[in-house]
Amino acid sequence: MNGRYREILSGLMACPTAPFAEEAVIRYVRQWAADGPVEFAQDQSGNVLLRYRGDIEVPNSSARRGCHASASSEEACSGAKVRGVQADRGAGVAAGLRGHGTQQRLAALQPRAAVLPGKPHWVFAAHMDHPGLIATRRRGRELSAEFRGGVDVKYFAGARVRFFLADGASIAGAVRSARKTKSSPFLQCRVELDASVDVPAGCVGMWDLPAMRMAGGRIASRGCDDIAGCAAILCALEEIAAAGLPANVTALLTRAEETGFVGALAACRYESLPKDALVVAIETSKAHATAPLGCGVIVRVGDRTRTFDPSLTAHVSAVAQRLAASQPRAAVLRRQSQLGAAVPRVGCHASGSSAEACSGARVRGVQAGRGARVAAGLRGHGTQRRLAASQSGAAVLPKTEAAGAGFRFSRQLMSGGTCESTAYAMFGYTATGLCVALDNYHNQGRGDSIAAERIDANDFACLVQLLVAIARDNSSPANTDERLLNRLQGLLKERQQYL
């Protein structure tokens, strides 16, 4: 895995986080942005806005200073409060995480016109929280805490947790009970600490699992969802800046997604983003049969609740297809030989019939008759060379980083849950989504036991590559629609004589 990708992933994953308590992640991101061409700000709800400035000089990205995955970084990330930073690039942070401050400070956070007129204004969005605990009161070794986020109550009894203290220390314990009450939307938990240590109210707790481990091309963490999405955005912004791309890119890192998209809804309500923004929400989404770990980045056509903007989704898919086709032919053929026979086609969806149609080693012939040529024309890629260049990942992949090398993508309906793309769409934004497949969703492992979430390292790299390609691409969703319309009109003109 790219060393810089790993550094950012490990730094962010070392930061304790929970809904409404994302301060450690915010501190890391602020430090990351301090020396580069990315302006850091926060809106009045505490969501982070990172604005890429393509019109200023780019410093050496190695000079960036963020938290690392060492013990010292976890200490640096674990404080209960985020201290104010200097104005200028940190504008808006001085207003405080809770959105307090003067009207002048809040005015600095209002959406601004894109730096480069005539180019799309891309917004890459991810959330900074993960299901976790917040301490409420302690008596001796017994700690009361509320659990914020969606985890089935059957996983709690006996599960190990760890609370992160302001001085960088931490204390572990075991959950003795978890119950729902009418007075709170969150599970009320009773935790028996390993020692009688002062755990103040508001202290963040997470499952007692490693911050990050890598083995066999897999990344395991107590919180991939959606820290990996945030990390992918930071990695992409670094590469966009290093290349000096003339692009309009803003990152929106939201709060409290796990409790009902609260940060994203507030960003929409108070228009933290300009209405002409093209929003790409990034997630780690529950893996399933046609979207396993190792299948590459997934262009989401929708979630459990809605399908996403068709023009924007088609455009992102087209960018991904061009990126896949741009790889050297030798790399494509080598990847195919590594993957074996079961290679689904680019554009597989999560429905059973289409997944079956996409899963064969060879593309089956279309039905004979007058529809044959039309179907072939609509697909538009008849040669073996083009077919080879548009393969996506196999349904079952070897767990090796070498076998995972190379860009892959698929197009899927990820119906495991509802994501922020739906929230943005309902407030009038043009939105779609990207994700990577996630194992042990919300730490819910097999056998009703808590386990580390897992993603594939190459899937993560593919996600970063696609974000950079979106920023680099000179076309727009309107251009993609126009090309398709021209193609369809050409088919009609050529073949309507056979009707």
Residue-range domain boundaries for the chain: 3-129+212-321+403-478, 132-207
CA distances from 470 to 260, 275, 278, 330, 417 (A): 28, 19, 11, 24, 25
Query: How far apart are alpha carbons 165 and 14 in whole angstroms?
Result: 14
Instruction: Specify the pLDDT at position 32.
Output: 96
Model pTM score: 0.79
Q: Where do we find the tokens 């309902």?
A: 426
For strand 38-42 and strand 218-221, is the pairing parallel, antiparallel, or unpaired? Answer: unpaired
Instruction: Specify the pLDDT at position 331.
Output: 54
Q: Which residues contact 496 (CB under 8 A, 6 or more apart)?
A: none
| Environment class of 250 (CB within 10 Å of its CB; exposed 0-12, middle 13-18, buried 19+) | buried
Residue 494, H or E segment: helix 477-495
State the fold for domain 3-129+212-321+403-478. Answer: Aminopeptidase (3.40.630)
Instruction: Specify the pLDDT at position 56.
Output: 56
Query: How far apart are alpha carbons 186 and 146 in whole angstroms?
Result: 6
Q: Where do we find the tokens 């007075």?
A: 183
Query: How far apart are alpha carbons 259 and 262 in whole angstroms?
Result: 7
Terminus-to-terminus CA distance in the chain, angstroms? 54
Tell me the Cα Rg of the chain.
23
Q: Where are the beta strands (DSSP E) in 199-350?
A: 204-207, 213-215, 218-221, 248-254, 278-286, 297-302
Instruction: Specify the pLDDT at position 119.
Output: 87
Query: How far apart are alpha carbons 329 and 326 in whole angstroms?
Result: 8
Instruction: Specify the pLDDT at position 260.
Output: 96
Report yes or no: 434 and 280 within 8 Å, Cβ to Cβ: yes
Report yes or no: 343 and 358 within 8 Å, Cβ to Cβ: no
Identical fold at 3-129+212-321+403-478 and 132-207? no
Instruction: Write the single-letter amino acid at 309.
Output: D
**For the chain, which ranges sit under pLDDT 50?**
58-111, 113, 330, 333-334, 336-404
pLDDT in tens, 139-156: 999 999 999 999 999 999
Instruction: Specify the pLDDT at position 480.
Output: 96
**What tokens appear for 456 in the block?**
């594939």
State the fold for domain 132-207. Answer: Elongation Factor Tu (Ef-tu); domain 3 (2.40.30)
pLDDT in tens, 412-423: 999 988 999 999
